[in-house]
């Protein structure tokens, strides 16, 4: 087909949904049928609005971009950015921009939405901004330079995202919400109150049930907000994030059929009232509904692409369930979370005011089906509840068990329990059935399934579930699942560990010669380096081991985004003397390092150049500091409260115990980083139940918790043993850690290892406490070897001139790196 034979397809809008439509058209070879032109109103290429707040955390427009201009060029798609479409001339089948008129045969509206600004007197004053685009964020950042306080009008999803952005600018932040609670669409009154408590604990003031009447000049700040009850709030900066409205003016002006409250009406094929015009995303009104999430927009894009290429895909609505982390707080809403759309719905609620967790189930009147759920504070229950909801699975006899805490943690559904209709990847709407079809068509590994279905290539949140489904289905088909660590070793990490330990192999080259092939890679080298360090504890900077390390371990410092490094000395148990604090301050001042207190009760120094690291560490070691291993998969920190030394509630010396633990296990290398905590009483100020190893004081000794973690996928630690004396406590921790190191996969945290452990917590207790495998003494001896051979890695490197030669920005020059440019912010230097 020649270019003159092709139809002209114009897409108005280059946001997330507009770009996804382009991808769908390319996938269907639509460029052989259409000459495609995309108009984008913004100067930026399509970018990820879901992670927009990360723009304030250092990400730039390029890193947020969903594609490149080369992608459009390579697929013969014309991309016209910074060119807004001002009108659609349906009579002549043309669109109009300030630069001219462009004819079309087919047209797609993907214009999205705009932020709603309530009609408030004074709402158009300077420093009254909105939160929607990268340019909006640039304006907020610029206004924030001369501001001390900021207010977000709107306490919904986008409002809390905006509040997080203002917090990131170091502004005293408040959220003003018209409704009686935050996130009124997602949570009920109980969940809203808990959400308020958690957010206010993070330093963001939450003012609910407040209607702003006017904005005027302030006395102490630039603005004064006056509410309906005449109460006032002064602030320097106001960001409106009170909801969205469809960008439907083009459709309205050319007389397409519109909804009463806006939005261009579409059918199941995403066609508007004009068969030559389609609409997708937040501008489109389907069945009287606007869908304000990217997932439904992607489904519309897929249906529209099929409509344009004579496919069969139709848009039949979308689920608005959401799993969010706002200001670090988990919030989840599934289906009819309020129960107001289900006649006879029954509710189950669980509230833990100490741990600040709230969960609610909404079930059908017969108690057999889950119709909705609500989570605040812990989203680890979300995936399982979502499978019950989306697949109509019959609930257990006691539905409340799905939200009640247990020693097994949040409930899970195995791959065999999921029906073929179960959604595995919501980003690309991939079901278990689609995965099975791909395997039946000849795919034999996870990579092939990803390539064919696109599963786990979006946000990546389904990666673990996808792998378990693929492995399970391959095994069910009689295919042996290769668990090899990589192409160079036909062994699992656990098998390699056993080989190293039994044969006493101390170098990668010997292991490769005897049991591997090739030269090794970025997967097996760090994994073997970790195994060797766990078994023999030789310095990672020794000549035989250095080639195995990644950048951070090579230079014993975490590389930062501008090529500088962090310096993190150990502060056992968070206890530090004034003299040592002074040394840290002097070092930071001398080398102009950014200084921050961490959540693990240490002091991080950022911005060190490579050639300065030895001098910095020499000063710190001379003052009595040691490396804190912040760069390694090793013991990191042991957090503690002040215990009975100072606290009137403390029943044991938590600081003393935390120091014993940290000194005992410092330098211990493992499959993943290890974090500990010790609390002096059950008030749990050290948050021990969110750590790999948590210790909580009792009147009679110590309670031991294991296999918890915070981070991207939080998991509560489980109670392992109670009222232990010091000796037994250390014995159990020794055995637990070495058993984990011996049996875990590479880069597997204790929480994930525990979830995959056959027999669960009971089996772990049998091995560690009852010595069911007869290896307890061996595990203790292995740990004692690590303890006895401990050596500060930086002290070792400083004593060896050969090791210090690698600390240069240039091999043949001792100059600092001229490309490292810093700027000042809040009195400290940060990357420019």
For residue 609, how many other CB atoms are within 10 A of its CB? 17
Cβ-contact 283, 109 below 8 angstroms: yes
- pLDDT at site 568: 94
pLDDT at site 532: 94
E strand segments, 462-536: none
pLDDT of the residue at 638: 96
**Dist CA 280 CA 283 (whole Å):** 7
Phi, psi dihedrals of residue 197, rounded to the nearest 5°: -60, -45
Q: What is the pTM of this model?
A: 0.59
Is 641 annotated among the ligand-binding residues? yes
Structure-token pair, residue 370? 């889950």
Q: What is the CATH architecture of 3-114+246-308?
A: 3-Layer(bba) Sandwich (3.50)
The region of weakest confidence among 531-535, 556-560, 819-823 is 819-823
What CATH number was assigned to the domain covering residues 117-242? 3.50.50.60
Instruction: Answer yes or no: is pLDDT of 793 > 90.
Output: yes
Determine the average pLDDT of the residues in 774-784: 95
State both tokens at 593.
Answer: 């390092």
Q: Cα–Cα distances in Å, from 283 out to 126, 299, 655? A: 29, 14, 57
> Hey, CA dihedral for 65, 70, 71, 75, is it positive or negative?
positive
How far out from the chain centre does Cα 207 lie?
28
| Whole-angstrom distance, CA of residue 724 vs CA of residue 705 | 12
Rounded to the nearest 5 degrees, what angle is found at the Cα of 600, between the Cα atoms of 598 and 603?
40
Burial of 420-447, coded b for 16+ CB within 10 Å and e otherwise, reads: eebbbbbbbbbbbebbbebbeeebeebe
Residue extents of the structural domains in the chain: 3-114+246-308, 117-242, 414-482, 493-549
Q: How far is 310 from 301, CA to CA, in rounded Å?
A: 14
* Residue 294, pLDDT score: 85
User: Looking at residues 399-406, what average pLDDT do you find?
Assistant: 86
- Which DSSP string do the residues of 549-613 spell out, in sequence order? S-HHHHHTS-B-TTS-EEE-B--GGG---HHHHHHHHHHHHHTT-EEEE-TTS-EEEEEE-GGGH
For residue 196, what are its two tokens?
A: 């308020």
Alpha carbon distances (Å) from 395 to 274, 277, 332, 447, 531: 46, 44, 19, 34, 43
- The string of DSSP codes covering 48-69 is -GGGGGGGGGT--HHHHBSS-H
Q: Which two tokens stand for residue 432?
A: 């278990």
Q: What pLDDT score does 484 carry? A: 82
Q: How far is CA 250 from CA 7, 88, 89, 455, in A?
A: 22, 6, 10, 35
pLDDT in tens, 137-150: 999 999 998 999 99
- Spatial CA neighbour of 377 closest among 337, 327, 324, 330: 330
Of residues 604, 563, 566, the one with CA closest to residue 832: 563
- Give the pLDDT of residue 563: 83
708: helix, strand or coil: coil
Q: What is the mean pLDDT of the chain?
A: 89
What DSSP designation does 289 have? B
pLDDT at 792 over 70: yes
Q: Is 647 annotated as a binding residue?
A: yes
| 681 has binding-site annotation | yes
What are the counts of helices (DSSP H) followed by strands (DSSP E) for the chain? 25, 37
If one compares 603 and 829, the residue with the highest pLDDT of the two is 603
Q: What is the pLDDT of residue 318?
A: 81
The pLDDT of 733-753, averaged and rounded, is 93
- Per residue in 137-188, pLDDT tens? 999 999 998 999 999 999 988 888 889 889 888 899 999 999 999 998 889 9
List the one residue out of 354, 411, 344 whose CA is nearest residue 377: 354
Question: Does residue 459 surpass a pLDDT of 60?
Answer: no
- Per-residue pLDDT, 392: 84
Cα distances from 553 to residues 320, 527, 529, 547, in angstroms, run 43, 12, 10, 10
Decide: residue 639, CB within 10 A, 0-12 exposed, 13-18 middle, 19+ buried. buried
Which pLDDT tens digit goes with each residue over 480-534? 777 788 888 988 898 999 999 889 999 999 999 999 998 888 889 999 999 999 9
Rounded (5°) CA angle 357-363-368: 125
Same fold, 3-114+246-308 and 414-482: no
How far from chain centre, in Å, is Cα 140?
24
CA dist 583 and 352 (Å) reads 43
96: number of Cβ within 10 Å: 15
CATH code of the domain occupying 414-482: 1.10.10.1100
The answer to whether 566 and 602 are in contact (CB under 8 A) is no
Say which residue, 111 or 553, is predicted with more confidence: 111
User: Rounded distance, CA 716 to CA 522, Å?
Assistant: 32
Provide the phi-psi class of 214: left if phi over 0, else alpha when psi is between -120 and 50, else beta. Answer: beta
């Amino acid at each position: 087909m020649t270019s003159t034979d092709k139809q002209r397809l114009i897409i108005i809008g280059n946001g997330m949904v507009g770009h996804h439509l382009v991808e769908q058209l390319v996938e269907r070879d639509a460029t052989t049928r259409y000459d495609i032109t995309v108009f984008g109103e913004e100067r930026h290429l399509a970018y990820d609005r879901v992670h927009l707040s990360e723009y304030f955390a250092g990400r730039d427009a390029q890193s947020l971009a969903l594609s490149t201009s080369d992608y459009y060029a390579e697929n013969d798609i014309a991309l016209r950015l910074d060119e807004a479409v001002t009108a659609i001339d349906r009579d002549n089948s043309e669109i109009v921009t300030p630069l001219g008129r462009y004819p079309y045969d087919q047209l797609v509206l993907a214009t999205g939405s705009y932020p709603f600004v309530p009609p408030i007197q004074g709402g158009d004053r300077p420093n009254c901004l909105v939160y929607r685009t990268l340019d909006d964020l640039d304006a907020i950042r610029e206004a924030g330079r001369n501001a001390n306080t900021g207010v977000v009008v709107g306490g919904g999803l986008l409002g809390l995202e905006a509040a997080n952005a203002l917090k990131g600018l170091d502004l005293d932040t408040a959220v003003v919400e018209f409704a009686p609670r935050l996130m009124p669409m997602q949570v009920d009154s109980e969940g809203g109150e808990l959400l308020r408590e958690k957010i206010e604990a993070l330093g963001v003031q939450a003012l609910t049930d407040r209607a702003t009447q006017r904005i005027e000049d302030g006395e102490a700040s630039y603005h004064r907000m006056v509410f309906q009850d005449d109460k006032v709030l002064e602030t320097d900066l106001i960001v409106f994030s009170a909801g969205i409205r469809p960008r439907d003016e083009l459709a309205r002006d050319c007389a397409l059929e519109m909804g009463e409250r806006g939005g261009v009406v579409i059918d199941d094929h995403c066609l508007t009232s004009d068969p030559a015009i389609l609409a997708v995303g937040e501008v489109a009104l389907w069945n009287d509904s606007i869908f304000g999430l990217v997932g439904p927009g992607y489904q519309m894009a897929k249906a529209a692409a099929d409509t344009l290429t004579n496919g069969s895909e139709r848009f039949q609505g979308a689920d608005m369930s959401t799993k969010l982390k706002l200001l670090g707080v988990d919030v989840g809403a599934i289906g009819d979370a309020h129960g107001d759309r289900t006649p006879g719905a029954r509710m189950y609620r669980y509230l833990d005011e100490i741990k600040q967790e709230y969960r609610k189930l909404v079930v059908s009147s017969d108690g057999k089906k889950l119709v909705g759920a609500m989570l605040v504070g812990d989203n680890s229950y979300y995936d399982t509840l979502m499978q019950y909801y989306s697949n109509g699975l019959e609930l257990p006899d006691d539905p409340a068990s799905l939200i009640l805490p247990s020693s097994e943690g949040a409930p899970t559904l195995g791959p065999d329990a999921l029906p073929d209709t179960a959604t595995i990847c919501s980003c690309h709407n991939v079901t278990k059935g689609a995965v099975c079809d791909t395997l039946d068509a000849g795919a034999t590994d996870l990579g092939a399934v990803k390539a064919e279905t696109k599963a786990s290539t979006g946000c990546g949140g389904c990666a673990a579930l996808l792998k378990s489904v693929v492995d399970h289905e391959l095994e069910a088909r009689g295919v042996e699942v290769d668990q090899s660590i990589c192409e160079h070793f036909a062994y699992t990490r656990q098998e390699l560990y056993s080989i190293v330990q039994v044969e006493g192999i101390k170098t990668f080259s010997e292991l490769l010669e005897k049991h591997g092939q090739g030269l090794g890679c970025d997967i097996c080298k760090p994994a073997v380096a970790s195994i060797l360090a766990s078994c023999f504890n030789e310095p990672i900077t020794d000549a035989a081991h250095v080639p195995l390390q990644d950048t951070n371990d090579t230079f014993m410092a975490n590389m930062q985004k501008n090529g500088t490094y962090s310096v993190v000395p150990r502060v056992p148990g968070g206890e530090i003397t004034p003299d040592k604090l002074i040394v840290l301050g002097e070092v930071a001042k001398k080398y102009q390092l950014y200084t921050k207190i961490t959540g693990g009760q240490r002091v991080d120094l950022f911005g060190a150049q490579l050639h300065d690291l030895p001098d910095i560490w020499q000063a710190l070691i001379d003052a009595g500091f040691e490396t804190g291993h912040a760069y390694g998969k090793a013991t990191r920190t042991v957090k503690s409260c002040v215990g009975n030394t100072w606290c009137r509630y403390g029943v044991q010396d938590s600081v003393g115990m935390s120091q014993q633990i940290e000194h005992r296990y410092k330098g211990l290398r493992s499959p993943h980083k290890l974090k500990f905590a010790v609390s002096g009483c059950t008030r749990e100020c050290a948050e021990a139940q969110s750590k790999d190893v948590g210790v909580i004081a009792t009147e009679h000794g110590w309670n031991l918790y294991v296999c918890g973690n915070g981070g991207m996928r939080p998991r509560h630690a489980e109670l392992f043993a109670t009222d232990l004396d010091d000796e037994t406590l250390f014995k159990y921790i020794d055995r637990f850690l070495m058993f984990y190191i011996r049996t875990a996969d590479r880069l597997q945290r204790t929480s994930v290892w525990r979830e995959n452990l056959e027999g669960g917590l009971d089996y772990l207790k049998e091995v560690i406490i009852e010595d069911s495998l007869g290896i307890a003494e061996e595990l203790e001896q292995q740990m004692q070897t690590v303890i006895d051979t401990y050596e500060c890695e930086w002290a070792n490197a400083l004593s060896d001139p050969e090791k210090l030669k690698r600390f240069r920005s240039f091999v043949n020059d001792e100059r600092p790196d001229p490309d490292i440019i810093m700027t000042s912010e809040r009195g400290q230097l940060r990357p420019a």
